[in-house]
Amino acid sequence: MSTPITPRPLMVLGTSSGAGKSLMTAALCRVLRRRGETPLPFKGQNMSNNAWVDQAGGEMAYSQALQAWAAGLEPQCAMNPVLLKPQGDSTSEVIHLGEAVGSARAEHYYRDWFRPGWAAIRQGLVRLQSAHPGGRLVLEGAGSPVEVNLQARDLTNLRLAQYLRARCILVADIERGGVFAQLMGTLALLRPVERPLIAGLLINRFRGRRELFDEGRRWLESRTGIPVLGVMPWLDELFPPEDSLDLLERRGRKRDADLEIAVLRLPSLSNFSDLDPLEAEPSVQLRWLTPGQELGNPDAVVVPGSKQTLRDLATLRSSGLAEALQRYASGGGQVFAICGGLQMLGRELCDPEGLEGDGDRQQAGLDLLPLRTVFGAEKALRHRRSLALWPPPAAGSAMALELEGFELHRGGTTALAGCEPLCADGQLGWWRRHGDQGGEVAGTYLHGVFDNGPWRRRWLNRLRQRKELAALSEHQPHHRQQRELLLDRLADAFEAHVNLEPLLKP
């Protein structure tokens, strides 16, 4: 039996963080899949608190999961063998091949973790290529590839490109300005051995008529000798943000929004992709709220996940937002919390091993739910399915709705008296009604809860009922279908505006 021919790897580099590498890599994966190839997304090292759990219980960055879906593959942690999860004070949790292996301070990271990290990257490559013989690696870089103080210890940019002989695309974001300086400066800082790896340039997020950049394209090609593969237009689609900083750009107002939902933008915000399905609802306006800003009187408040629950809880208190949230809830407000947010809403949080930092080992929560959380070293990392017991159905609706998602947290939570289970198995969250004002507080450990279309609409209809608005249809597909449509539209634009032939030549 003949061995499949392995196509030459491709790599997407960027002139800076936020240039669009993650989405361009996803687009490239979808386009190659359309051409009959098996693209294998891979990012050797990523730094993100927006994570996914694969079917084997391994932790990986959400952006590589998105790229796997673009490639038509099931995400696996080998696609992101080194994940760094910032946890404050210049420290990060270190995840190798899906498992937590320790923590690192920034100043000691390369001293202590360079060799183990490179070993994990090589092992991830072997696992991924063994699982998909003949697949083409589609690599994503990190930040800028020419950080001169880090080049000698680079784990995931040009060291990997050289190791795999990858053809590289260099992406620059014209929306940020200075696109010529971005590209020329990056190329100037490449070492002579690295320059031949750059096979093409890509201009991203261009507004207006493409022909207006024709002169710029010719200038770049004549000065660099590298083809400009394309000019990607600014897309109005609401793609998943590449990192939490991108959330700041989501400030547009929706004309037809009936509901305003405030989301607490915690200092250690994690798994912010949980909110993508709500952001995609035409009738919902999300207002990301930083501690220190006024809560106001939204139709609901969502407290999302946190990488540092106790520290973020302390920030809510010191900023006055904790007290504002308590007043809002007791006055009839609607509060929903996910994972770390659920822990904060409880009555008591215990950290006997000091896993959450050097603060008090036992702290009071916001006491909006009668829960007790004890943090432990072991993580819950698993996919879950359950039936939702709340919200109750409207007349003519199905009694219980199926939920699916995943757990990713440290700590176990137990319900005290007066707390009712939200799900049939009693483990994914609890809720309680407050006073005579009609307010409700609910929480769950289930990441991806809003991805479940019928449940999301039932929860929104509960908010709409309070405003005497017509109910929305609960006949909604899982958010993955909308994600697939977005990936297809991204790939359509990529195919229309980018010439891949110089990259795919033998």
Count CB-CB contacts under 10 A for residue 79: 31
The answer to whether 374 touches 391, Cβ cutoff 8 Å, is no
| pTM, two decimal places | 0.94
Specify the pLDDT at position 88. 81
In the chain, % of residues over pLDDT 70: 93
| Cα–Cα dist 465/299, whole Å | 11
Beta-strand ranges (E) seen in 389-494 are: 401-415, 420-421, 429-434, 439-444
- Provide the 3-class DSSP secondary structure of residue 288: strand
Count CB-CB contacts under 10 A for residue 317: 15
Within 13 Å and on the Cβ side, how many CA atoms surround 359?
16
10-238 shares its CATH topology with 252-480 = yes
Residue 497 host element (H or E): helix 479-497
Q: What is the DSSP string of 103-119?
A: EEEGGGHHHHHHHHHHH
Lowest mean pLDDT among 48-62, 226-240, 256-270: 226-240
Quickly state the pLDDT bin for 216 (edges 50, 70, 90). Answer: very high
Residue 461 host element (H or E): helix 453-466
Quickly state the pLDDT bin for 400 (edges 50, 70, 90). Answer: confident
Question: Is 478 tagged catalytic?
Answer: no
Tens digit of each residue's pLDDT (9 = 90 or more) over 430-439: 777 765 577 8
Specify the pLDDT at position 416. 84
- Single out the residue of 130, 182, 120 nearest to residue 155, CA to CA: 120
Check the CA dihedral 257-261-265-268 and report its sign.
Answer: negative
**CATH of the structural domain 10-238, one choice from 1.10.10.10, 3.30.980.20, 3.30.450.20, 3.40.50.300:** 3.40.50.300
Given 339, 409, 419, 423, the catalytic residue: 339
Specify the pLDDT at position 7. 95
Lowest mean pLDDT among 27-41, 433-447, 488-502: 433-447
More confident residue, 251 or 201: 201
> What single-letter amino acid sits at 66?
L
- Provide the 3-class DSSP secondary structure of residue 57: coil
| Cα–Cα dist 258/252, whole Å | 15
| Cα–Cα dist 57/352, whole Å | 25
Residue 373 host element (H or E): strand 371-388
Parallel/antiparallel/unpaired status of strands 362-364 and 348-350: antiparallel
The answer to whether 405 touches 384, Cβ cutoff 8 Å, is yes
Instruction: Give domain 252-480's CATH architecture.
Output: 3-Layer(aba) Sandwich (3.40)
pLDDT at 471 over 90: yes
Please tell me whether the peptide bond between 75 and the residue prior to it is cis, using omega within 30 degrees of 0: no
The answer to whether 284 touches 257, Cβ cutoff 8 Å, is yes
Q: What is the CA 10 to chain-centroid distance, rounded?
A: 23
| Cα–Cα dist 445/386, whole Å | 12
| Cα–Cα dist 205/340, whole Å | 34
More confident residue, 212 or 247: 212
Question: Is 447 tagged catalytic?
Answer: yes
Beta-strand ranges (E) seen in 179-258 are: 198-206, 228-233
Instruction: Show the CA angle centred on residue 479, arms to residues 475 and 485, nearest 5°.
Output: 105
Structural domain spans, the chain: 10-238, 252-480
Given 132, 409, 447, 479, the catalytic residue: 447
Lowest mean pLDDT among 204-218, 347-361, 439-453, 472-486: 347-361
First-to-last C-alpha distance (Å) of the chain: 23
Quickly state the pLDDT bin for 173 (edges 50, 70, 90). Answer: very high
Tens digit of each residue's pLDDT (9 = 90 or more) over 78-88: 999 999 999 88
